[in-house]
């Protein structure tokens, strides 16, 4: 229903019952808290077509009417300078969603002086508009005094004050929202240019703002430390290191618990159901498939909780402020650092965190290099290969060679990401550079409700989209590894029989077919099967190799098995030093994670970018793997 004039009573009586309201405002204005307070946590989330901006819509019932509330992305101006920003103006014009019947401008009561500039632009749209001032408690705390009545008269709009996270004023606001046809309209003429808007804003403030709020003392004091050249940088380093240490330490127990639960369920299924194809499908395909998704959940929840906590507190903007210059050198900006750092634990939340980056090109580049950061799924693979093949000697005093190699691999991932970002930015993603600006909001104590809703929203998004894709791939892989069913020749030990069946499955045949492509890197068909299986998730190669070598997953016996394996055709070890090095390097680069692909698909709203990421990373993995094999091969001889 497209309505561009205020609703008359007659029109209301004739029109369908649902009313479309749009929430507009700048970032950090408390808009999301207000949206949640009005609609509960039942928002529908989708994407606008053609852009990567998220569309959030909720509903509520007021006075017998159904209100559909659209939470528009936070913006500082209605004059867009990028396609993502244009979403707001397009929605207001009725292009991407039903045109709103009324607008609700949300502004922080302490930042009225700045918000009035945006309000002037919004009024120019000619839609019924109301103003909601949030965080009025903070205004009082900082000694500010604002006469809402005078403000209403000066603006010619209804004005309400709320304290969103405490629910104060929401009731009165609901009453207002139920009847936009009763809202007064601002007197014309409205200012049309930026300088005119500034003058208009100043005159409104002179009328209604009795006393401007003082600066936030806490923010001043904390920033003096946090942004101090020396103390600030040290604090920044400490926060970042702690951040990612915590992810490893705290997520691990939960992940192990989930892993145990998955194995238990699979074993339970086998024990209680008759042996056969369906049981195998359920136990190995479905349960393990679900397990592969759910195991990421502790990390995702933890990472997002920390990310949102730092963001809601206001620290994230400071972190971006500190690191921006370095990021600028590679063509990115401060906010990208946080995404990349998170990817050291898991690329999935890292990629989702790129939403804070306004520039579409920078956002895309950050998403495309995030998989290079050494994520925690690589750890089991590195642990196996380093444990089996790198001698446990001491180098440089207490430092062990094994530890150093692991550190080198970790740093290699980070370095590769930075270099790849710089190259991508210079070649494929030149783009009009958007101006860099970033607000440094006052520090706030984050509200638990908002935090929980943010984390839940992100976790749910991951589960829903990633889940379907991962489940499909897991079942497909199970199929490839299990079919065709061949009978192992009699006389083989059960372990060897399993290995025989694996070699003759479709996956095994694919491994053999793949050999010409991977032979230059020194990989044989067994590694080929492992690589194919690991396309779903990196750490799967460990379990697959265990199956192939008919060894248990215990580090000891699998380690022995891979060390001892000899290629019957050449008489040489399968895992030569050059091959091991090449395999490690392959894992540094290759994108072997359906969760990542799924998230890339969701965040970019297309399959093109996940396909591109997969391809370019595979190419890098192959080329660098080859180079490593030759270099190490020459060194070792």
Partner 1 sequence: MAPVSLSAPQAKPEPARERGQDRPPGATACEAAAPEPSPPGVALASLPPGSRARVLAVLDEASPVGRRLLDLGFTPGSRLRVVRRAPLGDPVEYELRSFRICLRRSEAERIRVETT
- Give the residues lining the site for partner 1 (CB under 8 A): 76-77, 79, 81, 110-111, 113-114, 117-118, 121, 194-195, 197-198, 212-213, 227-230, 232-233, 321-326, 328, 432, 434-441
Residue written as tokens 């809703």?
A: 453
* Region for 276 from its dihedrals, namely left if φ exceeds 0, alpha if ψ lies in -120 to 50, beta otherwise: left
Q: 170 vs 212, which CB is nearer to partner 1?
A: 212
User: In the complex, what is the shortest distance from the CB of residue 52 to partner 1, in angstroms, rounded to a whole number?
Assistant: 19
**β partners of residue 134:** 108
Q: b vs e for 132-150, b when ≥16 Cβ sit within 10 Å of the residue's Cβ?
A: bbbbbbbbeebebebebee
For residue 194, what are its two tokens?
């930026």
- Minimum Å gap between C-beta 307 and partner 1 is 20
Residue 216 or 458 having the CB closest to partner 1: 216
For 7-141, strand residue ranges (E) read 18-25, 44-47, 54-62, 65-71, 102-108, 129-134
Please say which residue, 434 or 475, places its beta carbon nearer to partner 1: 434
Nearest residue (CB) to partner 1, 202 versus 256:
202
Which burial class, exposed, middle or buried, applies to 437 when counting CB atoms under 10 A from its CB (0-12, 13-18, 19+)?
exposed
Q: How far is the CB of 321 from partner 1 (least distance, A)?
A: 5
| Least Å from the CB of residue 440 to partner 1 | 4
CB closer to partner 1 out of 12 and 198: 198
CB of 382 to partner 1, least distance (A): 32
Q: Which helix H or strand E contains 146, and what residues bound it? A: strand 145-146
| 3-state SS class at 144 | coil
CA nearest 146: which of 185, 112, 100, 122?
Answer: 112
Contact 599, 351 (CB under 8 A): yes
User: Cα angle at 125 between 10 and 604, to 5 degrees?
Assistant: 110
Scanning 107-163, the segments in alpha helix (DSSP H) are 112-123, 136-141, 148-155
| Residue 557 burial class via C-beta count within 10 angstroms: exposed 0-12, middle 13-18, buried 19 and up | middle
Query: Least distance to partner 1 from the beta carbon of 118, Å?
Result: 8
Q: In whole angstroms, how close is the CB of 219 to partner 1 at the nearest point? A: 8
Smaller CB distance to partner 1: residue 188 or 230? Answer: 230
Cβ-based nearer residue to partner 1, 277 or 326: 326
Query: How many CB atoms lie under 10 A from the CB of residue 496?
Result: 14
Report in angstroms how near the CB of residue 605 gets to partner 1 at its nearest.
23
Q: How far is the CB of 46 from partner 1 (least distance, A)?
A: 28
Q: Which is nearer to partner 1, 80 or 479 (CB)?
A: 80
Q: How far apart are CA 627 and CA 637, in angstroms?
A: 16
Nearer to partner 1, 81 or 277 (CB): 81
Nearest-approach distance from CB 230 to partner 1, in angstroms: 8
CA dihedral over 84, 85, 87, 90, signed as positive or negative: negative
Whichever of 36 and 111 has its CB closer to partner 1, that residue is 111
Report the nearest approach of partner 1 to the CB of residue 113 (Å).
4
**Tokens 């209100």, residue located:** 67
Q: How far is the CB of 197 from partner 1 (least distance, A)?
A: 8
Q: In terms of CB distance, is 117 or 179 closer to partner 1?
A: 117
Residues in CB range of 427: below 8 A, 6 or more apart: none
The tokens for 137 are: 């408690």
Q: 80 with 86: CB under 8 angstroms?
A: yes
Helix (H) or strand (E) holding 145: strand 145-146
Taking Cα atoms as reference points, which of 610, 284, 617, 258 lies closest to residue 465?
Answer: 610
Q: Kindly compute the dihedral angle of the four CA atoms of residues 223, 227, 229, 231, in this order, to the nearest 10 degrees.
A: 70
Q: Is 573 helix (H, G, I), strand (E, B) or coil?
A: strand
Give Cβ neighbours of residue 196 (< 8 Å, ≥ 6 apart).
none
114 or 125: CB nearest partner 1:
114
- Nearest CA to 422 out of 327, 355, 515 is that of 327
Identity of the residue, 110 or 303, whose beta carbon is nearer to partner 1 in the bound complex = 110
Rounded to the nearest 5 degrees, what angle is found at the Cα of 183, between the Cα atoms of 182 and 184?
Answer: 115
- State residue 308 phi and psi, 5-degree precision: -70, -35
**Which CB, 224 or 460, lies closer to partner 1?**
224
Query: Cβ of residue 51: shortest distance to partner 1, in angstroms?
Result: 17
Q: Give me the least distance between CB of 112 and partner 1, in Å please.
A: 8
- Token pair of 88, please? 């707001």
């Amino acid at each position: 229903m497209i309505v561009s004039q205020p609703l008359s009573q007659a029109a209301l009586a004739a029109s369908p019952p649902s009313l479309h309201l749009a929430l507009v405002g700048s970032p950090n204005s408390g808009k999301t808290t207000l949206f949640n307070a009005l609609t509960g946590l039942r928002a529908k989330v989708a994407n606008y077509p053609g852009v990567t901006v998220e569309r959030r819509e909720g509903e509520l019932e007021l006075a017998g009417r159904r209100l559909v509330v659209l939470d528009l992305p936070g913006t500082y101006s209605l004059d867009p300078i990028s396609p993502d920003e244009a979403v707001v103006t397009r929605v207001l014009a009725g292009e991407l969603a039903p045109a709103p019947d009324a607008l609700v401008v949300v502004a922080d009561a302490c930042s009225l002086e700045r918000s009035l500039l945006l309000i002037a632009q919004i009024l120019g749209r000619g839609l019924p508009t109301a103003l909601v001032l949030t965080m009025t408690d903070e205004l009082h705390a900082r000694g500010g005094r604002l006469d809402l009545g005078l403000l209403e008269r000066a603006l010619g709009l209804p004005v309400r004050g709320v304290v969103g996270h405490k629910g104060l004023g929401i009731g009165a606001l609901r009453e207002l929202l139920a009847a936009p046809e009763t809202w007064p309209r601002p007197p014309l003429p409205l200012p049309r240019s930026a300088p005119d808007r500034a003058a208009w804003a100043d005159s409104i403030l002179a009328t209604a703002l009795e006393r401007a709020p003082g600066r936030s003392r806490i923010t001043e004091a904390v920033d003096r430390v946090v942004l101090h050249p020396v103390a600030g940088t040290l604090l920044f380093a400490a926060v970042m290191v702690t951040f990612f240490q915590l992810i490893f330490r705290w997520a691990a127990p939960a992940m192990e618990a989930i892993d145990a639960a998955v194995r238990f369920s699979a074993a339970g299924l086998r024990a209680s159901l008759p042996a056969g194809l369906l049981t195998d499908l359920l136990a190995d395909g479905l349960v393990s498939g679900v397990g592969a998704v759910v195991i990421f959940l502790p990390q995702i929840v933890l990472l997002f909780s920390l990310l949102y906590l730092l963001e809601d507190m206001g620290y994230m903007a400071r972190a971006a402020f500190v690191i921006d210059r370095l990021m600028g050198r590679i063509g990115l900006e401060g906010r990208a650092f946080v995404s990349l750092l998170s990817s050291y634990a898991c690329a999935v939340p890292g990629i989702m965190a790129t939403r804070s980056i306004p520039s579409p090109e920078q956002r895309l580049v950050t998403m495309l290099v995030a998989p290079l950061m050494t994520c925690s799924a690589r750890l089991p693979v590195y642990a196996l290969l380093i444990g089996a093949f790198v001698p446990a000697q001491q180098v440089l005093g207490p430092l062990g060679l094994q530890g150093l190699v692991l550190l080198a691999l970790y740093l290699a991932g980070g370095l590769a990401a930075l270099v790849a970002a710089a190259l991508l930015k210079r070649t494929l993603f030149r783009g009009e550079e958007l101006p860099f600006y970033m607000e440094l909001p006052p520090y706030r104590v984050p509200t638990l409700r908002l935090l929980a809703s943010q984390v839940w929203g992100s976790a749910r998004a991951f589960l829903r989209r990633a889940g379907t894709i991962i489940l499909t791939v897991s079942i497909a892989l199970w199929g490839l590894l299990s079919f065709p069913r061949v009978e192992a020749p009699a006389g083989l030990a059960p372990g060897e029989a399993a290995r025989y069946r694996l070699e003759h499955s479709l996956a095994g045949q694919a491994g053999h077919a793949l050999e010409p492509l991977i032979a230059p890197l020194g990989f044989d068909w067994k590694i080929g099967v492992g690589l194919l299986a690991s396309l779903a998730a990196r750490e799967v190669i460990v379990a697959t190799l265990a199956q192939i070598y008919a060894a248990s997953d215990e580090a000891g016996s699998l380690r022995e098995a891979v060390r001892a394996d000899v290629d019957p055709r050449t008489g040489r070890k399968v895992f030569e030093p050059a091959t091991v090095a090449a395999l490690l390097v392959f894992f540094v680069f290759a994108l072997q994670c359906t969760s990542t692909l799924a998230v890339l698909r969701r965040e970019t709203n297309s399959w093109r970018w996940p396909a591109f990421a997969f391809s370019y990373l595979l190419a890098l993995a192959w080329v660098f793997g080859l180079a490593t094999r030759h270099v190490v091969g020459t060194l070792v001889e």
